[in-house]
Structure 1
Amino acid sequence: MDTGHTLEILLNNADLPVELKSIAKKVQSGQRISFDEGVLLYQKGELGYLGT
């Protein structure tokens, strides 16, 4: 499964917190995430989400 398809699945997940969806959208569009977004991923992101 390619990363783009995996991100689409995550973005369509109703259980995914809004903050993590925002980060996923940035990653999908090729933008860098900020330090604070990285900390949020560390604190709230599940391991599978981080590996996407």
Structure 2
Amino acid sequence: MVVDINNDGLRDTLISIEYERMAGLDIKFRVRDSYVQEVQKIENFSIGNEGGS
């Protein structure tokens, strides 16, 4: 879905002593993206050096 369109027109850029000629506009889109990931369960957990020094 398009949310906003603005800033259309010339977008010239001065490079050293010459201009780079460009034209354009800004468009903002809003999209929906669903992401599902299965997560592995942690069944056991142990900390090393339990009988340590």
> Which structure dedicates a bigger proportion of its chain to strand?
2
Larger C-alpha radius of gyration, 1 or 2?
Answer: 2
Q: TM-score range by the shorter chain?
A: under 0.3
Relative to the length of structure 2, the TM-score reads 0.15
Relative to the length of structure 1, the TM-score reads 0.16
